[in-house]
Amino acid sequence: MSDKGLDIGTNMLVAASVDEDGSPIFKMQRDAFYRIVPKSEVNKNSIRMSLEKRGANFITENDTFVVVGEDALEIAIERNDVAKRPLRKGIISPREKDSLPMLKLLIESLINKGDGNDTVVYSVPAKPIDTHFDIIYHTEIMGMYLNDMGYKSFPINEAFAICLSELLDEGLSGVAISFGAGMVNVAVVLMGEPLVEFSLTRSGDFIDTSVGNALDISPSLVQLEKEAGVDLFKSSTKIMEAVSVYYSSVITYTLQNMIHELNLRKKELPVFRDPVPIIVSGGLSKATGFVRKTEAALAAGMDLPFKISEVRKAENPMTAVANGCFLASQL
C-alpha cells in the first residue's frame, strides 16, 4: 500500500509520500501546458526534433504538440505568449474544457496509478468570500479522476492541511493562511478541528497580471522573475519594484478581508486560552521579508478577534500542503 498526499495548486502540483525507510519524498510539477500548431508536415517534424532535443515533456494531439510542465512556461515566454493552466483561481477552469486531460497527465506523472487499495488525500480550496463560484464540481471531478487512477480519494481544505503540517507543537490550534497562485485560503483551527474556512481570489496571479499591465510585459515573465527570488525591502529592478507594491496590496487585502469575515462569524470562532500563531505558506510567502510585511500590516491598526503569539512561515512553504495531505492520509 502506498498512500499519498496531493496538493492540487493553480500553479504547481506537489505530491508527498514516504520511501521504504519512512523518509518523506516530495515531487513537484508545474501545472501548465502550451500548444504548438505546426504550419506544415515539415514544420511538424522539425518541431518534434526540437522538443526532443531539449528534453521537453510533451504529447501529440490532433497533429498539434502539447508541452506540459515547466517547459510549457519557458516555451511560451520564448514565443512571447502565455502558457495555459488546467486550473484557474484554484479550481478547474470552465474556459479550458480541453485542459482536463492535461491535468490528469500531470497528476499521473507525479503519483502514478494506484492499486485500488492506495489512499490519496488531495487539497481543495474553501468557498471564496469575495466572488461567487462553485467548488463542488471541482472537488467531485478531482475525486473521480483519482478514483479512476486506482486510489481511494478524500478531499481536505488547503489551509487545514497546512495546520496539520505546521501546528503539531501547538496542539493543532491556530490560523493558517495559504498564499497560492490563484487564491488565498484561510483556516482557523482549535485542537485539530477546522472551525472557520474561507478563501480570497486575489493572490499570486493578481500580482503577475497587475505588474504585467503596469509595465506592459508578459505576466508569465513576471511570474518567472518573481519565482527567481523577491526581496520585499530591496527592489533591484522596475519589475521587482512593482512586484513589491502589489505584494503589499495582496497582504493588506487578505488581512482586511480576513478580519472582516472573522468578525462576521464571531459565533463560530473558538475561545483560545492562549495567543495562537498565524502560519503563512504558499509560493508568495517565500519572498524575503514576507513575515515582516505581514507583521507590519497587522500592527497598523488591524485587530483580530483573538490574540496572536507570532506570525511564522511554514517550514517549507511549497510542500506544507502536500505534507499535511499525506499526514491526513495516515489518520
- Tell me which residue of 157, 169, 126, 197 sits closest to 277, measured CA to CA: 169
Separation of alpha carbons 278 and 258, rounded Å? 12
Parallel, antiparallel or unpaired: strands 58-61 and 64-68: antiparallel
- Containing 171, the helix (H) or strand (E) segment is none
What value, to the nearest 5°, has the Cα angle with vertex 28 and ends 22 and 34?
Answer: 160
pLDDT in tens for each of the 331 residues of the chain? 589 999 998 888 999 999 888 888 999 988 888 889 888 888 888 998 999 999 888 888 778 898 888 888 889 888 888 888 888 777 886 666 667 778 888 898 889 898 888 999 999 999 999 988 778 888 998 999 999 999 999 999 999 999 999 999 999 999 999 999 889 999 999 999 999 999 999 999 999 999 999 999 888 888 888 888 899 999 889 999 999 999 999 999 999 999 999 999 888 888 888 999 999 999 999 999 999 999 999 998 888 989 999 999 999 999 999 999 999 998 8
**What does the pLDDT read at residue 68?**
85
* Amino acid, res. 283: G
Distances (CA, A) of 245 to 207, 232, 238: 9, 8, 11
- Tell me which residue of 265, 204, 214 sits closest to 239, measured CA to CA: 214
**What does the pLDDT read at residue 42?**
80
Separation of alpha carbons 183 and 197, rounded Å? 13
280: cell is 503563512
Separation of alpha carbons 200 and 253, rounded Å? 9
- Tell me which residue of 199, 163, 193, 155 sits closest to 281, measured CA to CA: 163
Phi, psi (rounded to 5 degrees) for 217: -135, 170
The half-sphere exposure of 302 on its side-chain side, counting CA atoms within 13 A, is: 20
Distances (CA, A) of 142 to 45, 118, 139: 35, 16, 5
Q: Where are the beta strands (DSSP E) in 83-164?
A: 87-88, 91-92, 118-124, 151-157
Q: Where are the beta strands (DSSP E) in the chain?
A: 4-8, 12-18, 24-30, 33-36, 58-61, 64-68, 87-88, 91-92, 118-124, 151-157, 174-179, 184-190, 193-200, 276-281, 308-313
Coil, strand or helix: which one is 295?
helix
The half-sphere exposure of 135 on its side-chain side, counting CA atoms within 13 A, is: 20
**What does the pLDDT read at residue 251?**
96
**What does the pLDDT read at residue 97?**
63
289: cell is 521579508
pTM: 0.88
- List beta partners, residue 186: 177, 198
